[in-house]
Amino acid sequence: MHLVRYRTSDGDVSVGVRSPGGVLPTAYSDMLAFIQDGEAALEAARSAVSSEPEIVPERILAPIVNPGKMLFLGMTYDVFREDVPIEQEPYVYARVQSSIVGPGDPIRLPSPDAHVIYEGELVVVIGAPMYRVPAAEAMSHVFGYTQANDVTWTQWVHGGTKVGPQICLSKNADTFCPLGPDIVTAEDLDPVDLGFTVTVNGEQRTNATTKGLAWSIGAILEFLSQNMTLWPGDLISTGTCEAKDIVAGDVVTVEFDGLGKLENPVTGTW
């Protein structure tokens, strides 16, 4: 099932099921509430598929804008771990809600000299509470998947600040987390060996697969849930295998197989 958040022509925001010609409305207006309601919400969505009239939304929005946690990972793909032991944990950092934008929204570069890169990433949406859940059981706690462009302002990481790398500042400028367009439920997407591309201005810059992940998603979730509870609606981004420059005037498209196209223009704010 492909779930979307959308705006109607009346300005209302709702959650619906994507259909061939538009969206089938549910009774929900908040995706987090939908995820928290679990099977009851999914059953309501199945009923909408069989009974609700199809509508054409005015706009598809970011699928969720109020996750409790947004944990993003680095050093997860084999290409970055050639000299790293397999047991070495990935790098983890947090994003904030205010960095989220949806498909079609601009990525706003903060200054003319800002060096900014894209990172296309598969995002796991948690569906049930997790605390010290072993990898073998972890996938049963997954609600579904979406995709993100984990935009990075590199000067905060490599710019030689006197206090060291400022990962939080490099990741959390407004508009630096395009997300969506859909959340696809876990039963309808296999995240293993999932192909994905990133194009800039129609030119393919990245063509890869999640087969390159050094740790399985189950192992990642086991690691993250060791000392913090993961709650329904939390977002876990699994990292990237490639990051390349973007500049004002570009249009960036992240596309994981089965998750649709996440396309965003890049603009300046100066």
The first and second tokens of residue 2, run together, are 């492909």
Q: Which residues contact 67 (CB under 8 A, 6 or more apart)?
A: 32, 97, 233, 234, 235
CATH architecture assignment, domain 70-268:
Alpha-Beta Complex (3.90)
pTM for this prediction: 0.96
* Nearest Cα residue to 103 out of 4, 242, 215, 173: 4
Provide the pLDDT for residue 238.
97
Share of the chain above pLDDT 90, in %: 86
Cα(91)–Cα(93) distance, integer angstroms: 7
Count of residues for the chain?
270
The first and second tokens of residue 132, run together, are 């010290």
7 — pLDDT class (breaks 50, 70, 90): very high
Position 98 pLDDT exceeds 80: yes
Position 121 pLDDT exceeds 90: yes
The first and second tokens of residue 267, run together, are 């603009």
In the chain, where are the structural domains located? 2-61, 70-268
Position 48 pLDDT exceeds 80: yes
Position 161 pLDDT exceeds 80: no
